[in-house]
Amino acid sequence: MAVVLGARVIEVVRSLAMGGIPVGVVTPTGDPARWSRYARNVMTWDWMLPAERHDDALADRLVRFARQQSSPPVLLYCSDQPMVFVSRHRRRLAEGFRFAVPDAALVEAMEDKARFAALATARSLPVPPTVVLDVCRPEPPDELLDLGLPLIVKPTARDRTWVEAVGSNTKAIRIDSKEQLLEVWPRLRGLSKPAIAQESIPGPETAVVSYHVYVDGNGEIAGEFTGRKIRTIPVEYGHTASLTIMDDPEVRRLGRKVCTALDLRGVAKIDFKYGPDGRLYLFEINARLTLWVHPGARAGVNLPAIVHADLTGRPRPRCGRTGGDVDWVHPKDVLAARAHGVPMTEWLSWLWRTRPVTGVWKWDDPGPLLGMAAVRVKGAVARRPPARGEGCGSDC
């Protein structure tokens, strides 16, 4: 059995199901995976809570569950908060689970973009010029403008304080002028952790590529694939709405180099962007499973199943590649396509031509999409202002 921690874990659940592996989930209320025919609900947990809330008590609850199983489950994680939780409580969790997690110091550095920028510079990795922002200062530092405009501001921790500061869950914001920087600066003071600013690398979202890998305990690459974003929502610095798994030798070469430089163990998604000069820039590393693993598994490299096999002592599933690229699409891609200026007829033609792996929706597993839709309808009804006279007492 595998237990998956995190939010939006449905693609990992389906990857495990492809390998015939029973799955339990520890997810927030309303997560689509909770309605999947492939998953059982182990626990409800809000991973957006502050890090200190993911404490020993949660570890104890999970270990109690693990000890009730016939054999120690494999523990997997799909977002930064559970990644840090597993790392910080690895000794306690090891009493009931089997899992692969990188070195503790490396986990902390990858979760904190300020630490990662320093680590990447020390290891001569190709990150864009970066400045860590002291948002307690009354005004932006002069060195910030030395990066040149436009520049990109990213949160060290993308939590509720970031959403409140920028008014959305976007991964970053672009600053195009000094006036805009001065307007944004006061709003950054409420962040739970410092933000960073980086030199902007020109180019569309299709220039964003990634290397996905599982490095076993001996330092050997047990599975890998590369991919590229097609569309995001919002258009800039948004969440992936569609992607393609394809073979990019340069991304694979640099991805392997990064793994060696950091002596990485476990799973990772390493994000790069092609600059106008064709050079690859390293943006970030997520040492966890992501939604990309499902289309990766359809392409022939099932990273979650390989990890599960290693940790349970079973033969690894064979890694192969299909004859062509494998695309993946989220239901929100119809909105992303419109935002990207893609005509509906062109988008429908692409769907028909590529027959992509569908995110959330699956004909033989409709529960996740239907459950997610029901939650959103319920939320919309709850937010609806009462009709005139509705809900009034005797004073109306």
- The rounded distance, in Å, linking the Cα atoms of 181 and 195 is 13
Predicted local distance difference test score (pLDDT) of residue 141: 80
Look at phi and psi of residue 135 and say left if phi exceeds 0, alpha if psi is from -120 to 50, else beta. alpha
Same domain, 9 and 138: no
Neighbours of 183 (CB within 10 A): 11
User: Is the backbone of residue 300 left (phi > 0), alpha (psi -120 to 50) or beta?
Assistant: left
Range of 190's domain? 129-199
pLDDT at 198: 87
Q: Does the residue 385 lie in any domain?
A: no
Is residue 391 domain-resident?
Answer: no
Total number of domains in the chain: 3
Judge contact between 52 and 79, C-beta under 8 A. no
Q: Final residue of a domain: which of 59, 80, 99? A: 99
Sequence-distant contacts of 159-168: CB under 8 A, at least 24 apart: 159/48, 159/50, 159/192, 160/48, 161/190, 161/191, 161/192, 162/191, 164/190, 165/190, 165/191, 168/234
**237 and 153 in a common domain:** no
Within-domain flag for 210: yes
**Reported pTM:** 0.89
Kindly tell me if the per-residue pLDDT of 323 is higher than 60.
Answer: no
Across the range 176-187, mean pLDDT stands at 87
Domain annotation covers residue 235 = yes
Give the H/E segment covering residue 272.
strand 266-274
- CA separation for the pair 294, 285 (Å, rounded): 19
Question: What pLDDT was estimated at residue 145?
Answer: 75
Task: Report how far residue 340's alpha carbon sits from residue 271's, in angstroms, rounded to the nearest whole number.
Answer: 21
Residues 31 and 49 in one domain: yes
Residues 245 and 307 in one domain: yes
Average pLDDT over residues 84-97: 97
Average pLDDT estimate for 246-275? 96
- Are residues 313 and 236 part of one domain? yes
Looking at the fold, whether 341 and 226 belong to one and the same domain comes out as yes
Do the Cβ atoms of 38 and 10 come closer than 8 Å? no
Rounded to whole angstroms, how far apart are CA atoms 33 and 50? Answer: 23
Residues 188 and 245 in one domain: no
> DSSP characters for 151-184?
EEEEESS-SHHHHHHHSS--S-EEE-SHHHHHHH
Q: SS3 of 364, please?
A: coil
In a shared domain, residues 217 and 334: yes
Within this chain, do residues 184 and 209 fall inside the same structural domain, yes or no?
no
Using pLDDT thresholds of 50, 70 and 90, give the confidence band for residue 396: very low
pLDDT band at 325 (very low <50, low <70, confident <90, very high): confident
Mean pLDDT of the chain: 89
* Residue 47, domain CATH: 3.40.50.20
309 and 349 fall within a common domain: yes
Is residue 336, in this structure, part of any structural domain at all? yes
Quote the DSSP letter at residue 53: G
Asked, for residue 374, whether it belongs to a domain, the answer is no
> Is residue 332, in this structure, part of any structural domain at all?
yes
Neighbouring residues of 375: CB distance < 8 A, sequence distance ≥ 6: 30
Q: What is the pLDDT of residues 350-383, one digit of tens each?
A: 999 999 999 988 889 999 989 888 877 776 666 6
Q: Which amino acid is at 32?
A: P
In a domain, 387, yes or no: no
